[in-house]
Amino acid sequence: MNITNRAKAHEEIDRIFLDLLPRRGMVVREAQVRLCHNMLDSMDDGRIALCDAGVGLGKTYAYLTAGILFRKYTQNASERPILITTASIALQNAVLGEYIPFLSDVMLEAGMIDRPLKAVLRKGKAHYACDDRLIKRLSKANLEQKNERNKRALLSLKTQLDLDDVAHLSTYDRNQVCVPDMCDCYLTDCRYQRFVRDSRSPEYVVQVCNHNFFLADAIHRSAGIPSLVPDYCAAIIDEAH
């Protein structure tokens, strides 16, 4: 960021936490505001910041705001996402389903962004259905002998890609239909491949994953293998302990 843009970014941090969020009923936390300012400076300086934030401080809004404003005001960063990696599924779901939509609404209403913030959850292959393996499983499974819940779960995979979103899917069926480590089927344009391509789109401002996926991506990059996520402008490791 140049000096002018850095000042604008810091001004918008103060506006968000001291004005806009309190209008939505949120309490001003000075430590939260300082944390956001410090993280923005660390990103802009290309430094690693180790931040110890206690429960209830509001660190998620702090790092999301810092990352979004860093991306907004940094030249050549607007096409690269912010990568957020967490240790728990609960936090991933909260970031995607609560924090980002709320912050997006606040910033959009204030004119700080011109379109809603979009985010995508990235997971390992085993979390997704393989169309080829699903076809084979359905051709061999005796559906009449399966209990009704397991049967409905298996059949729902015709339209449902994420296995984690399917209740009552048996462990056996999951292992039979998940995307394998090595994709070698005849399908050249399956749902999983389309999802991977689509999730690399610059329209996703935030990429969310767990620590294992983040480390796997780092291994890919160090080995010269195509990365699992697009090149990002900043990485935020939440629950790093």
pLDDT tens per residue, range 161-218: 999 999 999 999 999 999 998 877 777 789 999 999 999 999 999 999 999 999 999 9
Query: Per-residue confidence at 57, pLDDT binned at 50, 70, 90?
Result: confident
Cα dist. 88→6, 51, 138, 208 in Å? 32, 18, 32, 11
Does 105 have pLDDT greater than 90? yes
Q: How far apart are CA 224 and CA 238, in angstroms?
A: 26
Decide if 4 contacts 33 (C-beta within 8 A): no
Q: Identify the pLDDT of residue 170.
A: 93
Q: How far apart are CA 229 and CA 120, in angstroms?
A: 11
Half-sphere exposure of residue 98, counting CA atoms within 13 Å on the CB side? 8
Decide if 73 contacts 5 (C-beta within 8 A): yes
Stretch among 64-68, 102-106, 146-150 having the lowest mean pLDDT: 146-150
Cα dist. 187→10, 109, 110, 199 in Å? 49, 44, 46, 19
Per cent of the chain over pLDDT 70 is 100
Half-sphere exposure of residue 162, counting CA atoms within 13 Å on the CB side? 8
CA quadruple 10, 15, 18, 24: dihedral positive or negative? negative
Q: Identify the pLDDT of residue 164.
A: 93
Cα angle 105, 100, 127 (rounded to 5 degrees) comes to: 140
Tell me the average pLDDT of the chain.
93
Q: How far apart are CA 120 and CA 81, in angstroms?
A: 10
pTM, 2 dp: 0.90
Q: How far apart are CA 71 and CA 213, in angstroms?
A: 22
pLDDT digit string (tens) for 15-47? 999 999 999 999 999 999 999 999 999 999 999
**Closest Cα partner for 212 from 92, 83, 94, 123?**
123
Mean pLDDT of all residues in 116-126: 95
Mean pLDDT of all residues in 50-63: 89
Q: What are phi and psi of 162, to 5 degrees?
A: -80, 115
59-73 and 100-109 helices cross at what angle (nearest 10)? 50
Q: Identify the pLDDT of residue 54.
A: 80
Q: How far apart are CA 134 and CA 190, in angstroms?
A: 11
More confident residue, 210 or 75: 210
Indicate the Cα dihedral angle 17, 43, 214, 75, nearest 10°.
100
Q: How far apart are CA 191 and CA 112, in angstroms?
A: 35
